[in-house]
Chain A
Amino acid sequence: MTETIEITGSNQRMDRAQAVPAIVGNHRDFLIVTGLAGTAQDMYAIEPDADNCFLLGGAMGASVSMGLGLALARPDKHILVMCGDGELLMNVGALATVMASGVTNMSILCVDNERYGETGNQITHTSMGTDLALTAKGLGIKNVMTVTAPDEIEAGRKELRRADGPTFVYLKISDAKPPKMSSRNFNAADRRIAFRRAQLGHL
């Protein structure tokens, strides 16, 4: 099956608002941690305040490590981290720690628009030659896949669900600035409690 996804932007890549939901698929297959900006908006657009997701609003660089803590604590669940290229670049060593931890129940979807979208769409290092899939491979992540075209989305969706992780899926998307979405819930204490109540059954 080939997904219908528009190609846009100066880099002529897939539209973010279509590609990200398509590759995530049913988000209830995962417990999810997202980065602070674009990927939080992506997830919020899929389902606002979903109780299996924790969306960062700051603490840039936290998403992979937070997902790792969750993966260690919940071996019965598959953990998905959704992070942007800027977010990952800020703490790229966290991928080495994921490798060293030995977790298998964790996937990372790196949504790479080659831009710092929150701060004025400045280019990131990935537009200048950095390949975060090669980085992930080099840091020891077991399964690594780059997805650049609509006909690769389905394979990426399956890859994210591999039981023998850790898995890194590198989704290359358009650098066109996405339309501003409705304002999300930035109250981290509220979201922590909602997540724990839903996933643990207690405060």
Chain B
Amino acid sequence: MSDQSVWGAELYDTLVDGGVSIFAYVPDGGHKVMIQKSLEDDRVHSIPLTTEEEGVALTAGADLGGKKSVLLMQSSGTGNCINMLSLQANGGFPFLAIITMRGTYGEQNPWQVPMGMAVRPCLEAIGVHVLEVEREDELKDVTNAAMNLAFRSDRAVAILLTQKFIGAKAF
């Protein structure tokens, strides 16, 4: 398990260095550092959503306007996104989601498990490339790989921050 104040800052800086200027998010403990940094940063827009699927559409609109954006969300919101990802599948819109995982490694809340287990197959079924981060030392490389795939190759990509990496919430 890693220190979020360290990896959250590294991930945030990697995204901003890669040209991301819009952060759309659904509040999540695993994204606390990135959300806070985006709120305090005048160079970027930080947009709170009421549901994850808004973010799928918002990022496509940002692309029409020539800006790079990212969706920060938890695994439980994946199911909310699936039909909206028709936009990316049909339109070739770039898409980058950073998803903190629940319901897998070490989960203590059974309500998180069904969606947690379904994240990868659901995303892959609608055409999203799924990359995983299990260790802090691979975070930057995976993020840059995902940004290339999304913004240079016009693909939909999700980075899963696994519970091996971020830890499982204690109850």
Contacts and interface: CB of A to CB of B under 8 A. Distances in A.
Judge: A and B partners, yes or no. yes
B62 A69 contact: yes
Interface stretch (A1-9, A59-67, A115-123, A177-185): A59-67
Contacts of B53: 61-62, 65, 91
Interface string A178-198: 000000000111011101100
Interface string B81-119: 001101100111100000000000000000000000000
Given A65-B57, A91-B54, A94-B54, A191 B91 contact: yes
A128 interface: no
Nearest to A94: B54
A72 B47 contact: yes
A59 B86 contact: yes
Among B54, B56, B62, B67, find the residue whose CB has the most chain A CB atoms closer than 10 A.
B54
B51 A91 contact: yes
A100 interface: yes
A98 B87 CA distance: 20
B48 A58 contact: no
Interface in A83-130: 91, 93-94, 96-97, 100-101
B66 A65 contact: no
Contacts of B54: 65, 91, 93-94, 97
Interface of A: 31, 33, 54, 56-74, 77, 91, 93-94, 96-97, 100-101, 187-189, 191-193, 195-196, 199-200
Interface of B: 22, 24, 45, 47-51, 53-67, 69, 83-84, 86-87, 90-93
